[in-house]
Amino acid sequence: MQRTVRSYVDHQADVRPAKTYLIAPETGMTMSFGELQRDSRRLARVLRDRGAAQGDKIAMLMPNGYQTCRLFIGIMYGGFCVTPINLLAQPSQLAYVIEHCDTRIIFVSPDQVERLNLALTQVHREVEVIVVHPDCTEFIEELREGSTIDESRYEVAEIDDALMMYTSGTTGTPKGVLLSNRSVIAGGEYVSSAHQLGEDDKVMAVLPLYHINAQIVTATAPLVHGGSLVLPQRFSAGSFWETVVKHGCTWINVVPTIIAYLINGSSPKEKGLDISRVKFCRSASAPLAPSHHRAFEDKFGIGIIETMGLTETAAPCFTNPLDPARRKIGSPGQAFGNEAKVVDDQGKTQPPGQTGEIMVRGPNVMNGYYKNPTETAKSLTADGWLHTGDLGHLDEDGFVFVTGRLKELIIKGGENIAPREIDEALLKHPALLEAAAVGIPDDNYGQEIMACVVLKPDHSCTEEELRKYCVGALGSYKTPRKFHFVQELPKGPSGKVQRLKLLDLVGPPTQSTV
C-alpha cells in the first residue's frame, strides 16, 4: 500500500467503515472511518471550487475539536499541504507564518478571528478566511454550498508534501518544516509498530493538533492500525482520568508537564476509578525527569514508555521498548524505524559513551525547510542524515541519552555543562514542580547559570535553601548563581520548555512562598 494519507483513509474505510475513528468527549460526537473518507472527499471539492491547486498550503488556526481533526486529515487526503498554526504564536510570528507559507485559504475558529484579521493586515496578498467551529457537525453545509462529492481528486504520491509545520522560532524567524506523505505515514507506522497497537486500541489525545506529536502520534497512527482517538478540547487534570475510564482508553499520550500535574493531582482510586485497562503511558516532546518517571509509575501503576522525536522527523525517532524489563529510565530509547548515530564537530561517528550531536536518517525525515535552501543544506547531508541539534551519546545497547541542545549548552569557564543535569537535580527537591536552567553572561566565566523554578501548590522554599541543596547535589561549580521563582515556565505547545526564553525574564531573584 502507498504511504499516503489518502491510501490509509481509503483502506480503513474499506476494511472497517463503521469503526469509530474519533470521539469528541465534551459533545459525545463520533466519526467513523467511512465518515472520515466521505468528508475528506467533499472537502477536496470545496477546496478545488475555491481555486486551490494541488500541493497548495491550506492553513488552520484552530484548537482541538471534531472539526479540527476532520480538516487536518481531509486537507492532506485531497492532495493539499495542511499548515496548522500554533495558537500560542505571537502576533508578529502569526503574520510571518501566514505571509511565508503562501496560503490563500485559512480555516479559523471564531475565537481566533480577531487575532487573524489583525495579522492579515501585514500580509501582502488576498487570503480567504473560512470561519468554522472546532466541534461543528454541519461541516458540508457550512462549506460546500450545495456541491456534491467529487470523486476526481488530485493524485497523491508518497513524496508529495502533506504537512508543513513551523518550528517554535525561539531564536530568529520560524522555519517551515515540509513533511511528505511518506514521512507522515512513516511516523504513524513507527508508533503503531513500536507499541504493538491494533484496532482495539484507543488513545487519550490531549495534546494540541497544531503540534507534531498530536498530529502523528494520536491522529495519524490510528489511521495505520485502525484504532481510535479520544480528543478532548484541552487537557484538564481534574477530568483526565474520568475521561480515560469513560471511553475505555488503552493508552495515553502526554508530555512531561502533564505528567507533573497528574502526579500532584488526586489518585483515580480516590474517585473509585479503575484504570487497569490502560496498558502504558507514552511520554514525548521533552525530556522526562527520572524522579517524575518513577513517581508516576509508583502512583498510578502504569508504565511509562519514554520516546523522542522532532518536527523534522515527523515526531518519533527513538522509543523505549514495549517490554518494561528492557526500558531504561533517563533515556528516550533506541532508534526505531530510522537509523541513528552520534558525531563529533568534524562529523566523525562517535563510539558508545562518547558525547556528540545526534543524527538520524530514515523515511520519516523531512523533505526540507520551505523556501530556505540554505538551512536545508545545513540540516540535511547529501546522503540523507539529519542534524538534530541535540547533544548526547549512545550506550552499548543503542539507547540514546540526551544531555542538551547545541545552542543551549552552558559553557562556564571553558567547561561544558548540560542544563538538563541541573534541571533533574532541582526536580528532586520536594518543593519544586518544574525547573529549568540556562546560561547567562558573566564577566569572569563567560557564562554563569540561572535557574527558573515553579513551586508545588502549598509548598514554600527560599533561594538560600535551593542553593544549599544544589551544592550538595551538584557541587558548587554547577550550582546556579541566580534563582528565579516564577508562576510558569515558557513552553511551546507540546509542553517543552523554551529554555532560551528564560533569558527574557527580568528582575532580581526573590524568596517566594507561592
Instruction: Report how far apart, in Å, the C-alpha atoms of 125 and of each of 57, 72, 103, 405 are.
Output: 14, 24, 9, 37
pLDDT band of residue 509 (cuts 50, 70, 90) is very low
Q: Which residue has the cell 500580509?
A: 123
Greatest CA separation for the chain: 71
For residue 278, report the phi and psi dihedrals to the nearest 5 degrees: -75, 115
323 Cβ neighbours under 8 A, 6+ residues apart: none
Q: Which helix (H) or strand (E) holds 455?
A: strand 446-455
| Per-residue b or e along 283-316, where b marks 16 or more CB atoms closer than 10 Å to that residue's CB | bbbbbbbebbbebbeeebebbbbbbbbbbbbbbb
Structure pTM?
0.83
Give the mean pLDDT of 135-152: 58
What is the model's pLDDT at position 511? 35
Q: What pLDDT does 76 receive?
A: 97
pLDDT at 151 over 80: no
Does residue 395 surpass a pLDDT of 60? Answer: yes
pLDDT in the model for residue 410: 85
d(CA 158, CA 55): 12
Rounded Cα gap, residues 243 and 97, in angstroms? 35
- Where do the domains of the chain lie? 5-369+388-394, 409-504
Q: Which of 62, 52, 55, 47 is nearest to 81 (CA)?
A: 55
CA-wise closest residue to 37 among 19, 24, 23, 64: 19
CB 478 within 8 A of CB 421: yes
The pLDDT value given to residue 506: 44
Those residues with Cβ within 8 angstroms of residue 483's Cβ, 6 or more apart along the chain or in another chain: 450, 451, 452, 453, 463, 466, 467, 509
* pLDDT tens by residue, 165-199: 998 644 467 899 999 999 999 999 999 999 999 99
Q: What is the 3-state secondary structure (H, E, C) of 102-157?
A: CCCEEEECHHHHHHHHHHHCCCCCCCEEEECCCCCCCHHHHHCCCCCCCCCCCCCC
What grid cell was written down for 151? Answer: 470523486
Given a cut of 90, is residue 388 above it in pLDDT?
Answer: yes
Identical fold at 5-369+388-394 and 409-504?
no
Q: Domain 5-369+388-394: which CATH class?
A: alpha beta
Q: What is the CATH number of domain 409-504?
A: 3.30.300.30
**pLDDT at residue 37, rounded to an integer:** 96
Mean predicted confidence (pLDDT) in 313-334: 95
How confident is the prediction for the chain on average, in pLDDT? Answer: 90
Q: Is the pLDDT of residue 387 over 70?
A: yes
**Which run of H or E residues covers position 24?**
strand 20-24
- Paired with 357 in beta bridges are 343, 391
Q: In this model, does residue 126 exceed pLDDT 70? A: yes
